[in-house]
Amino acid sequence: MSLHLRPVQFVDTPVGREGDVARLAGGMLWFAAYEVIEQDARRTVAIADFDRALGGDARAAALHAAITAPRPPLRLGERVLRLDQPQVAGIVNATPDSFSADGRPDDPAAAAAAGMDMLASGAALIDVGGESTRPGAPLVWEGDEAKRVVPVVERLAAAGAPVSIDTRKAPVMEAALAAGAALVNDVSALLWDDRAAGVVARAGCPVVLMHSPDPKKGPHGGSGYRDVLTQVFDWLEARIAAAVAAGIDRSRIIVDPGIGFGKSLADNLALLNGLALFHGLGCPIMLGASRKRMIGALANEAPAGERLGGSIALAVKGASLGAQLIRVHDVAETVQALKVWRGLQDQALVAR
């Protein structure tokens, strides 16, 4: 395992601390040190001591550059998505077993209306999916999946909404992009369908690469991790390299650690606590933890429809570690929580 850097010791403001703190990914957060992970050894290196302690290490220098580089905005159709602050992606599932009331595979007008409500509530992106990825969910034929999502995408795009298509199948990607989708969100990181990388490269659109243990078999499974944080990082690093080799512009790649996909509760908690490590990939981070099973595991087995509080807690945790995109079912509540979080951040920046 190679060296990894995790930003730690976050501070309220960089004022008066020049040279002692670094800005995280051009966003609203500053940090004063790195946790340096090498094999099983971990140590803390202050930003002020970085050049002396790690400046001669090419891997460390590259990670530091990636962690501190601003993330350029993404163009999604006629809209531009800024990544210097956390944004909310609203989930619209055109599936019969959705976590939420938007699951209307036979009523695309109602599903699109749900998406427009999310946009009005502050979502920056509407993520439309037509196949459930929950454990044990049946595989949906690509033709049926396309029939579910295309009418929804068409309506949303025609109304000016920025839309992403949540699919692992190349034909569904093609159909949704033709209907107006501007981003591909693939839970298999372009590994399920051999044509997927080519579709994304030709479209020139942004893509989310999500981690799961064995995407060719499905999004769940896996036999455990020795160090989930660094292993998921290394896997995503390899997928980014493969995507770039396939012709996808690195500046259009977003990463997702895959909370809940083939991971235990302990794994999920480790990924969430260590989320800042993934800034070393040099790409925006999407966090999808809304209504996940881990919330029930921590809160009296609360069913999916009663996990709002936990979802908000995880969204704020993600924002506090620099996640640029928070993918959620409950848009209005999450947007409100993040506005309050941002107000606190803004006040801290100017406080004396």
pLDDT of residue 18: 94
pTM of the model: 0.95
Q: Which class for 70: exposed (0-12), middle (13-18), buried (19 or more C-beta within 10 A)?
A: exposed
Buried/exposed 109-127: b ≥16 CB within 10 Å, e otherwise: eebbbbbbebbebbbbbbb
- Reading the block at residue 89, the tokens are 């992606």
- Reading the block at residue 194, the tokens are 């051999």
CATH number of 74-350: 3.20.20.20
- Reading the block at residue 159, the tokens are 């109304």
How does pLDDT run across 300-338, given as a tens digit for each residue? 999 999 999 999 999 999 999 999 999 999 999 999 999
Buried/exposed 274-285: b ≥16 CB within 10 Å, e otherwise: bbbbbbbbbbbb
Per-residue pLDDT of the chain (352 residues; tens, 9 = 90+): 589 999 999 999 999 999 999 999 999 999 999 999 998 899 999 999 999 999 899 999 999 999 999 999 999 988 999 999 999 999 999 987 554 544 455 789 999 999 999 999 999 999 999 998 877 788 899 999 999 999 999 999 999 999 999 999 999 999 999 999 999 999 999 999 999 999 999 999 999 999 999 888 766 666 689 999 999 999 999 999 999 999 999 999 999 999 999 999 999 999 999 999 999 999 999 999 999 999 999 999 999 999 999 999 999 999 999 999 999 999 999 999 999 999 999 998 876 5
Options 168, 252, 292, 307, the catalytic residue: 292
How does pLDDT run across 157-200, given as a tens digit for each residue? 999 999 999 999 999 999 999 999 999 999 999 999 999 999 99
pLDDT of residue 98: 52
Residue spans per domain, the chain:
4-54, 74-350
Q: Give residue for tokens 């292993």.
A: 231
Active site residue 317: no
How many helices (H) and strands (E) in the chain? 11, 14
Helices (H), the chain: 50-54, 58-68, 108-120, 142-158, 170-179, 196-203, 228-245, 265-273, 293-298, 308-320, 331-350
The residues with which 45 forms a beta bridge, in sequence order, are 34
CB atoms within 10 A of CB 151: 17
Active site residue 327: yes
DSSP codes, 150-213 = HHHHHHHHHTT--EEEE-S-HHHHHHHHHHT--EEEETTTT-SSTTHHHHHHHHT--EEEE--S
CB atoms within 10 A of CB 78: 9
Q: Tell me which residue of 62, 67, 58 sits closest to 282, measured CA to CA.
A: 67
pLDDT of residue 103: 47
Radius of gyration of the chain (CA): 20
Q: Is 286 in contact with 208 (CB distance < 8 Å)?
A: yes
